[in-house]
A and B are shown apart, each in its own frame.
Chain A
Amino acid sequence: MNAAVANGAGVDQVWTWLGAVSDPEIPVISIVDLGIVRAVAFEGDTCVVTITPTYSGCPAMTVIAESVTEALHSHGLNDVKLVNQLSPAWTTDWMSEAGKLALKGYGIAPPAQQAIDISGLRSGVKRVAAPPLLVACPICGSTHTQLTSQFGSTPCKALYKCLDCLEPFDYFKCH
C-alpha cells in the first residue's frame, strides 16, 4: 500500500505541513511563503520536495533541507527525497503576500517592487541611474528612508534607516 495513502497524506497535505517549516534566519516566514519550495510530488512511496536556493551561498539551505525532512518524518512520511533546483532562479516575486506581511510585522521591510535588473546596464552596456525605490519603514510606515548599505546581516537583506523615526531597519532586497 502506498505510504502516502497509508498516512492519509496527499500533495496538498504535504504543502500544508511544509507551510509550518520556518526559515531558520527569519523564523516568522515559512519556506512556502518565501517561495523556495518549488514542487511537491510522489514517486511511488517517495515524497519528492523540490527546493531552490535564495542566494547560491545561502548557508540556511542545509538547515532548510534538514528541517523539511524532519517535519515530514514527524508526520509519518519517512521516505523523503529533496531535490535542489537552480533554474528558474529564485526571485522575491515568488514571496507570498502573507509572507511579506509577516516580514513587515517582524521589522523587516518586504521587497518594495518587482525584481528588476539593478545593474544599471539595461540599455546595452550603458550605466543608467537606479530606479527610485520607495522603501517604507516597517516601524512607522514613512517612506522618507535612506539606504545605508546594499548588504546587511544576510545576503538577502540591505540596511536602511528611517529619516522620520530615525530607526535603522533591514530591507529584504528585490532579487
Chain B
Amino acid sequence: MDVSITDNTANAAKIGYLLRQGDNALILSQQLSQWCGKGPALEEDMALTNVALDLLGQTRMWLTYAGELEGRGRSEDDLAYLRDAHDLRCCLLVEQPNGNYADTMVRQFFFDTWHYFLMQSLAKASDPRIAEIAEKSIKEVTYHLRRSGDLIVRMGDGTPESHAKTQAAVNELWMYSGEMFLYDAVDQAMVEQGIAPAAADLRAAFLEHVSEIFAEATLAMPDPNAFMQQGGKKGRHSEHLGYILAEMQFLQRAYPGAQW
C-alpha cells in the first residue's frame, strides 16, 4: 500500500516529502551508475560512480526515515525495490536519459545546484532527523556541485563541439529545471512546519548560481519564465522511469525476498 500524499495529516505530508528526497537521490544514483565502465575517461567514470554512491547513501537515510514514520514496517529496500513508477515521487529531471556526456552533466549541474541550496536550508529544519541527514549530505553535495560547475565551464567554454553539445543539453533540459520550485500542498506543509525553505528563495539562489556559471561557460541562459514540465513529484512520470525501474528492480521482482 502506498502513502497517499493527499492524506490530510502532518505525517503524511512529511512522509511524502521524505519520499521525494529519497526517490530523487535513488533514481539519479541509478542513472549515474549506468556510466560505470563507460565513462569518457577513467577519472570521469570514477567520479560519476562516486557521486552515485553518495546519492545512494543519502537515499538510504531518507527512505529509512520515511519507512519509520509510515509505521507499516517497510524498509529502505522495500521502498526502493517494491514500489512501481506511479508510486515514486522523484522529479522529472532525474529520470531524463543519460544521453551524451553534456546531457548527463547539465542534468547533474541543475540537480546539484538545487540540491546544494536545499540541503543548506534543510540542515536548519525543525525536524532534527531531517536536519542531521541534510547536515551529513551537504558535505557530499558540496563536492558534487563544485565538480559539475567546473565541468560545465570546461565544456561550455571548450571546443566548438563541446560548447554546442552543452548548449543543446541546456536548452533541452531547461524545461525540467523548474519542477523542484513549483510547490504543492506537501511542500507547502513542509514550509509551514519549518522544514522546507520558501520556493522563491530557493529558486532565486538556483537562478543566480546557474546564470553565474553559464556566463563563465559562455552558455546562453534560458528564459527563467519559460514553461516548466511537472508531474514527477506527484507520481506522473515520463516514459523513461518505467525502463529505469525495470532494470533496477529486476532482481527483487524476479526473486522476491532475495537477500545477500
Contacts and interface: CB of A to CB of B under 8 A. Distances in A.
A149 interface: yes
Contact of B57 (A57, A148, A151, A159): A57
B36 interface: no
A41 B213 CA distance: 49
B132 A175 contact: no
A113 interface: no
A173 B143 CA distance: 10
A97 to B, nearest CB: 22
Contacts of B46: 149, 151-153, 159
B244 to A, nearest CB: 19
Interface in B121-174: 128, 131-133, 135-137, 139-140, 142-143, 145-147, 149
Nearest to A150: B147
Contacts of B2: none
B43 A118 contact: no
Contact of A149 (B43, B131, B216): B43
Interface string A155-170: 1000100000000000
Size range of the interface on B? 35 or more
A173 B50 CA distance: 13
Interface stretch (B14-22, B177-185, B204-212, B246-254): B204-212
B50 A56 contact: no
A118 B143 CA distance: 7
Contacts of A86: 61, 132-133, 135-136
A155 B128 CA distance: 26
A14 B213 CA distance: 51
Size range of the interface on A? 20 to 34
A57 B43 contact: no
Interface string A140-154: 000000001111110
A58 B57 contact: yes
B215 to A, nearest CB: 10
B106 to A, nearest CB: 17
Interface stretch (A16-24, A27-35, A98-106, A119-127): A119-127
B90 interface: no
Given A87-B136, A150-B147, A57 B58 contact: yes
A74 B212 CA distance: 57
Given A55-B54, A56-B54, A120-B149, A148 B43 contact: yes
Contacts of A12: none
B176 interface: no
B53 interface: yes
Contact of B216 (A127, A151, A152): A127
Given A57-B58, A149-B47, A121 B131 contact: no
B60 interface: yes
Interface string B26-61: 000000000000000011001100110111111011
A130 interface: yes
Interface string B196-236: 00000000010011001100100000000000000000000
B135 A56 contact: no
Contacts of A111: none
Interface string A74-116: 0000000000001111010000000000000000000000000
Contacts of A153: 46
B55 A121 contact: no
A53 interface: yes
Contacts of A121: 116, 142, 145, 209
14 contacts: A56-B61, A56-B136, A57-B58, A59-B53, A86-B132, A86-B136, A118-B142, A120-B149, A127-B149, A127-B213, A127-B216, A151-B50, A155-B54, A159-B43
Given A57-B60, A150-B47, 18 more contacts: A55-B140, A57-B55, A86-B132, A86-B136, A87-B131, A89-B132, A89-B135, A89-B136, A117-B142, A118-B146, A125-B117, A125-B209, A125-B212, A149-B42, A150-B146, A155-B53, A155-B54, A159-B43
